[in-house]
Copies of this chain bind each other. A is one copy, B any other.
């Protein structure tokens, strides 16, 4: 058996998404083989992120500054709020560079099966933002799953009390999508929502 210190590290790593015990072991050995070039910088980078990065109190984004750089950006349109499931989705939208408003990280989607109700998410915080009257549009950029769409309906219902425009992402054939690789649901939806060219 490996030393207890090694076993402990492998155990902790194997709880991360994408890792199992075998790949955690391989990762640790690969780090040990290149201590100076890989292991030392990785531990230093982890310590820095651990010390400096925290959730933004306004939107829930993970950043080194509080509020986060998106919320602090003067050029961002604060009247436009995009609701996302988690920080990974926020980063994906930022990489795409299409949205110039601010975000609201929900922390998940409603799911009766997983026991996630409105109180487990930041829905109250979203309602409070809408109640301030400064928000003109809320874009619900939630996943196109049953749970995601249930959440869209729940939120648009809640937000209908306020004077805000509620929108959601369009659905259809993704860019570069071959039709025969797409699922039936997407094809039906794309057909129904077809538009004149």
Interface positions of A (Cβ within 8 A of B): 1-3, 5-6, 8-9, 12-13, 15-19, 23, 25-32, 35, 38-43, 45-50, 52-55, 62-65, 69, 86-88, 91, 94-95
CB-based contact A1/B91 at 8 Å: yes
Q: A28-B49, A32-B55 are in contact. List 16 more A-B contacts (CB 8 A).
A: A2-B91, A3-B62, A3-B64, A5-B53, A5-B64, A6-B49, A9-B46, A9-B49, A12-B41, A16-B30, A16-B31, A17-B30, A18-B27, A25-B88, A39-B50, A43-B47
A21 → chain B closest CB, angstroms: 11
Complex: A45 Cα to B50 Cα, angstroms: 14
Distance A185 CA – B19 CA, assembled complex (angstroms): 31
Looking at the complex, which one of B3, B39, B49, B65 makes contact with A69 (CB distance below 8 Å)?
Answer: B3
Judging by beta carbons under 8 Å apart, are B43 and A43 in contact? yes
Contact of A49 (CB < 8 Å), options: B5, B91, B95? B5
Measured CA separation A94–B94 after assembly (Å): 48
B1 with A94: CB separation less than 8 A: yes
- Return the chain B residue nearest A62 by Cβ: B32
Shortest Cβ distance from A152 into chain B, in angstroms? Answer: 22
Question: Which residue on B lies nearest to A86, using beta carbons?
Answer: B29
